[in-house]
Structure 1
Amino acid sequence: MSDDAKKRILLTGATGGVGTALLARLDDEYDIVPQGRHARTEGLRDRLRIADVTDYDQVRALMDGIDAVVHLAGSASPESDWEAVLGPNIVGQRNVLEAARDAGVRRVVLASSNHAMGGYDRHEQWPVHSDMPPWPDSLYGVSKVFGEALGRHYHDAFGLEVIALRIGWMSEDPLSTDVDLLRAMWLSPDDAARAVRSALEADVPFGIYYAISANPNRRWDITDTMLELGYRPQDDWTAFPGAHEEVVEGGADSPGNWPEGS
């Protein structure tokens, strides 16, 4: 890639909520190759690369000429059962990392999740730092811990650069819920793009970082995300018209059924 050429980025899961937001915000900056299982909009119909991440050969065919991968594809619900996470989240993550290694791709940004550490949230053991032991709150969370560990292996064994982002709760409207815990971990679509851009560009070969907006009530430390990746969140749910924060010392209680509905 020449110095003035755009980086060619494979964006898996480009038709999902996070993928759609990233494509809209980063498409002018990077040469994005979107992947999905089916186009949901006319705008994607001609450019979407159709592939199933559980099929290695299909994933490998996506990698030629790619500089970096942003891997979002997979089951996204913390209420997913084992069968729902086994294929896309376990096998799929391995396929993406192995195909990237085989094709000589330099960097993979993995979409991890706050649910990899959701046990701390369920038991209200805050604050949470990225270097604390994983404590998944669901099989979905377990699959994200697996992805982080597999990324560590591919970095150590093969030199693949891997950045895992523990994505918070992304929504266009943080006031669509009155659950304090969700508002606290809100990640705006614009901040999501800022976090992914930082993960693509930072001179860091491996790391696991929280990606959350600048919410005053957040319980998850993003200091290392800011210092090491250069991430600068600019959004805050309390800045929305009509927003009002009820300050609770130590943080408001978590929902008793966490992570259901998150």
Structure 2
Amino acid sequence: MSNRRILITGAAGGVGTILTRCLKDEYDITGHDLKPQPDADPVILGADLTDYDAVRGVMDGIDTVVHLAGAASPEASWDAVLNANIVGTRNVLEAARDAGVRRVVYASSNHAMGMYDRLEDWPVYPSTLPRADSLYGVSKIFGETIGRYYYDEYDLSFIALRIGWVTQDPGSTPVDVLHAMWLSEPDLAQIVRCAIEAEVDFGIYYAISDNPNRRWAMTNTMLDLGYRPQDSWSDKAPADEPVVEGGVPVADNWPKGS
């Protein structure tokens, strides 16, 4: 086990549960969620993200924060993203800075760039100007931007991962753009592990599996972080399901219902 103490915010959520299960034998993990779960293994501490003092109270002794907590739907309301994703993310970063945390790994999202997907304006690179498809996407752009500020101003290491679509079964939907951004559970664990350990101190990176119809560049993810995706949605697709060169057209109301 590494001697790094890792705080996973939103540890009771879907992605948090996967990461806790996959990484708990490698790191000294403490979980966080809105409500405490003292009987969980590892223990989950409770803190409302809008309560700075409560957030600061879970930071002592932490090496790396993996910040997943927040409103997670592209259809989330303004009040939801304002409180959880904007105020909450600022509180996490400020508490991490005050506690002397080494690094924050931030769960950003493909929705920070999702308007390119709606308009089928590909490929998309990490250096492409942000173009949110929802208020949720706007909040993730805010998170990336305030993370850059905390790195520039306070030297708090900040790695943003634009996480794709995490599910065990990518065949559960016929939507091609979701197939293209699928991230398997093993690849999710690998990319977060890479983000925790990488020698770079700041960066914004796409986190997607090795999908043949991927439209989002991961060269810097592989070069800077050492990420090598192992899975592909096409390995789980029916034998007669084609990979369409250039991608299938995206619904005009993307990401509604995604």
Instruction: Output the TM-score relative to the length of structure 1.
Output: 0.95
Please say which of residues 247-256 and 183-192 is displaced more in the overlay.
Answer: 247-256
Specify the alignment match of 1:258 in structure 2.
254
5+ residue gaps, structure 1, are none
Match of 2:29 among 20, 27, 32: 32
**Distance apart, 1:123 and its partner CA:** 0.3
Aligned length: 258
Any residues of structure 2 matched to 1:187-206 within 5 Å, and which?
187-206=183-202
**Counterparts of 2:22 and 2:53 in 1: how far apart (Å)?**
30
CA contact (8 A) 1:110 1:163 kept: yes
1:61 maps onto 2:57 in alignment: yes
**Counterparts of 1:5 and 1:239 in 2: how far apart (Å)?**
33
Identity %: 63
Any residues of structure 2 matched to 1:89-104 within 5 Å, and which?
89-104=85-100
Specify the alignment match of 1:86 in structure 2.
82
Match of 1:186 among 182, 186, 198: 182
**Counterparts of 1:53 and 1:232 in 2: how far apart (Å)?**
33
5+ residue gaps, structure 2, are none
Specify the alignment match of 1:17 in structure 2.
14
**Distance apart, 1:5 and its partner CA:** 5.1
Specify the alignment match of 1:71 in structure 2.
67
**Counterparts of 1:193 and 1:244 in 2: how far apart (Å)?**
30
CA deviations on 1:174-213 (whole Å, 9 max, x unpaired) are: 0001000001000011111111000000000100000000
Any residues of structure 2 matched to 1:1-262 within 5 Å, and which?
6-38=3-35, 44=40, 47-240=43-236, 242=238, 244-262=240-258
CA contact (8 A) 2:31 2:42 kept: no
SS at match of 1:219: coil
What letter matches 2:34 in structure 1? R
SS at match of 2:91: helix
**Counterparts of 1:28 and 1:181 in 2: how far apart (Å)?**
34
CA contact (8 A) 2:6 2:27 kept: yes
**Counterparts of 1:169 and 1:81 in 2: how far apart (Å)?**
20
**Counterparts of 1:244 and 1:140 in 2: how far apart (Å)?**
35
What letter matches 1:129 in structure 2? Y
Counterparts in 2 of 1:46 and 1:100: CA distance versus 1, 3 Å:
closer
**Counterparts of 1:84 and 1:108 in 2: how far apart (Å)?**
22
CA deviations on 1:87-137 (whole Å, 9 max, x unpaired) are: 000000000000000011010000000000001001000111111000000
**Counterparts of 2:252 and 2:131 in 1: how far apart (Å)?**
17
**Counterparts of 1:213 and 1:138 in 2: how far apart (Å)?**
24
CA deviations on 1:8-36 (whole Å, 9 max, x unpaired) are: 00000001111011001001000010001
**Counterparts of 2:184 and 2:243 in 1: how far apart (Å)?**
21
CA contact (8 A) 1:15 1:39 kept: no
CA contact (8 A) 2:2 2:26 kept: no
CA contact (8 A) 1:106 1:161 kept: yes
SS at match of 1:44: coil
After the TM superposition, list the runs of 4 or more consecutive aligned residues in structure 1 that deviate by more than 3 angstroms: none
CA contact (8 A) 1:115 1:137 kept: yes
**Distance apart, 1:240 and its partner CA:** 1.4
